A = this chain, B = another copy of it.
Amino acid sequence: MKRVLLKISYDGTAYHGWQIQPNAITVQEVIGDALFKILGEKTNVTGCSRTDAGVHAKEFYLHFDCDEKLPADAFLRGLTALLPSDISVTEYKEVDPDFHARYSAKAKVYQYTILNSRIRNPFLSRYSWQIGRPLNVERMNDFLSRLIGLHDFEAFSSSGRTVKDTVREIYECFAEEKDNIIKITVKGNGFLYNMVRIIVGTAVDVSDGKIEPWDAEKILLSKDRNLAGKTAPPEGLSLEKVIY
């Protein structure tokens, strides 16, 4: 028995997120089915993150255990042939049996794309949140920079999932603008349910003047989801990098 780590990439448009659920197609299920065909036996697929429906992953890792003897190259080609065109597998690596796609991750980088334009871009509709009114990137950054560090992010998480420990460390958190596209990058050691989408939605509320940049500390300390801003839509979000 060996443990294999796969690096994949997927366009989340057609999927109800990563994690297997009844009556909906998920990336975990599609990968699991393809692995079953190659390995000839069921295996548990463990992902590095539970992305929501519509969220993308430029870089995503998963692990599974198997007795597979195929060379890595042949395995990758076979698996790719079994997967739909919106999922790619780019790396195959044998890892120690105690390596875990989720718990061994030291940091993750998410990126959120806002199309800040009154004019729609059909080719970005699956990959961005379109906002017609002008956004104030400086104000957004004033807010975002206050989230950097070790904080209890309970106020920035949806109640959908309950975890005991809501303290996370954010290493980078900033917005950049170029040609009507605003990209918000958040790098941290872990993320709560909907955390990046609520951070982005709150940053937009800060830009709109509904929340002040210096309210960041107050919201964090309150641990009250109602004090943070709206939840940004999923299609603008992408898991960009996982650091082990």
Q: Which residues of A contact B (CB under 8 A)?
A: 9-11, 56, 58, 80, 85-88, 90, 119-123, 125-127, 130
Contacts and interface: CB of A to CB of B under 8 A. Distances in A.
Contacts of A86: 122, 125
A80 B88 CA distance: 34
A9 B122 contact: yes
A11 B125 contact: yes
B11 A85 contact: no
25 contacts: A9-B121, A9-B122, A9-B123, A10-B122, A11-B122, A11-B123, A11-B125, A11-B126, A56-B123, A58-B123, A80-B120, A85-B120, A85-B122, A85-B125, A85-B130, A86-B122, A86-B125, A87-B120, A87-B122, A88-B119, A88-B120, A88-B121, A88-B122, A90-B119, A123-B127
A11 B9 CA distance: 22
Nearest to A57: B122
A13 to B, nearest CB: 9
Nearest to A86: B122
A137 B122 CA distance: 30
Contacts of A10: 122
Contacts of A11: 122-123, 125-126
Nearest to A56: B123
Nearest to A91: B119
A130 B80 CA distance: 13
Contacts of A126: 11
A122 B90 CA distance: 11
Most buried by B among A86, A87, A127, A130: A86
A126 B125 CA distance: 13
